[in-house]
Amino acid sequence: MSKAIIKSIVTIGLLALLMAAPVAGASVNKSVTIEAGSESDGASSVNGSVTVAEGAVVNGEVSTVNGKVRIRDNARVGEASTVNGAVSVGDNVTADSLETVNGAVSVGENSKIARMVGAVNGGISLESGTTVGGNVANVNGAIDITAAEVGGNVEMVNGNLYLRDGAVVKGDVVIEKPSFWSFSKKSDPPKIMIGPGSVVEGKIILEREVELYVSESAEIGGVEGVMTMDDAIRFSGDSP
């Protein structure tokens, strides 16, 4: 399993342990909201959601164990994480990292994530103009990147990958072989689509067989592993 996802599990597992004994500023069974336009050092909950309202500034972390994390438009936060719940990010948001174990991560337009976006059991979506400085990684779930840029690798095991509308991956695309950590029972090979105008500056590294579709207008640095570029299905138009 990728180092990025190992880090995600360790980080969020430690969060769960810490949250079992609430500290000052933490809520146990209530949801927490940081009001629009306000400034905070951080917020956390155990069995509740955490919401950062529009334009708020959080100098620290926002986290929960059982609940959603919502970051509204134009907000700024450090790390945002949950164990059982989704992480939902609006437009023009600035964050350090976004992580969950069981839940999806969605990021709106023109947001900037300095380090990584990670999930274990859940999909990840990035919208137009968003940039991620590091890796985007999950184990079980689709990754959908639309006109956004990933500065590191895209790493996954079970699930489909879509690069759309000129998406850019500056590192490699790595499809890992299923292991103990890959809980999905899905037997069909993942579908990997490198759409029109999209770019993978590194290589597509395949540790398992996939359905690989590459647009005639896409650019990739090569295919290696259990498949080669000769196995790719080229297509014209928006999708295969």
Digit-coded pLDDT (tens) for 80-120? 999 999 999 999 999 999 999 999 999 999 999 999 999 99
Nearest to 15 by CA among 79, 64, 48, 86: 64
pLDDT at 1: 44
> Does the residue 101 lie in any domain?
yes
Q: Which residue has the higher pLDDT, 216 or 188?
A: 216
Q: Rounded to the nearest 10 degrees, how much is the dihedral formed by the CA atoms of 67, 119, 11, 117?
A: -110
Distance (Å, whole) CA 151 – CA 200: 11
If you count them, how many residues does the chain have?
Answer: 240
Q: List, in order, residues 6 or more apart from 66 with CB less than 8 Å away.
A: 46, 47, 48, 82, 83, 84, 85
Burial class (CB in 10 A: 0-12, 13-18, 19+), 20: exposed
Nearest Cα to 195, choosing from 157, 230, 145, 153? Answer: 145
- Whether 54 is in a domain gets the answer yes
Find the mean pLDDT for residues 189-193: 95
Q: What is the pLDDT of residue 217?
A: 97
In a domain, 28, yes or no: yes
Kindly tell me if the per-residue pLDDT of 26 is higher than 70.
no
Q: What is the pLDDT of residue 170?
A: 98
Highest-scoring range by mean pLDDT, 3-7, 176-180, 204-208: 204-208
**pLDDT averaged over the chain?**
88
pLDDT on residue 8: 52
pLDDT of residue 27: 60
Domain contains 98 = yes
Mean per-residue pLDDT for 64-72?
Answer: 95
Model confidence at 5: pLDDT above 90: no
Domain that holds residue 150: 3-235
Give me the number of domains the chain comprises. 1
Structure confidence at residue 11 as a pLDDT band (50, 70, 90) = low
At residue 218 the predicted structure's pLDDT band, cuts being 50, 70 and 90, is: very high
Average pLDDT over residues 34-63: 93
Indicate whether 69 pLDDT > 70: yes
Residue 240 within a domain: no
* Domain assignment present for 174: yes
pLDDT, residue 179, reads: 72
**DSSP β-bridge partners for residue 225:** 206
Q: State pLDDT tens for residues 131-153.
A: 999 999 999 999 999 999 999 99
Residue 197 lies in a domain: yes
Look at residue 76 and give its three-state secondary structure: strand
Regarding pTM above 0.95, the answer is no
| Domain-embedded: residue 200 | yes
DSSP state at residue 180: T
Q: Residue 17 has what pLDDT?
A: 43
End-to-end CA distance of the chain: 30
Q: Listing from the earlier edge strand, what are the strands of the sheet with 117-121?
A: 26-27, 43-45, 62-66, 79-84, 97-102, 117-121, 136-137, 154-156, 173-175, 204-206, 223-225
Tokens 């000769």 correspond to 230
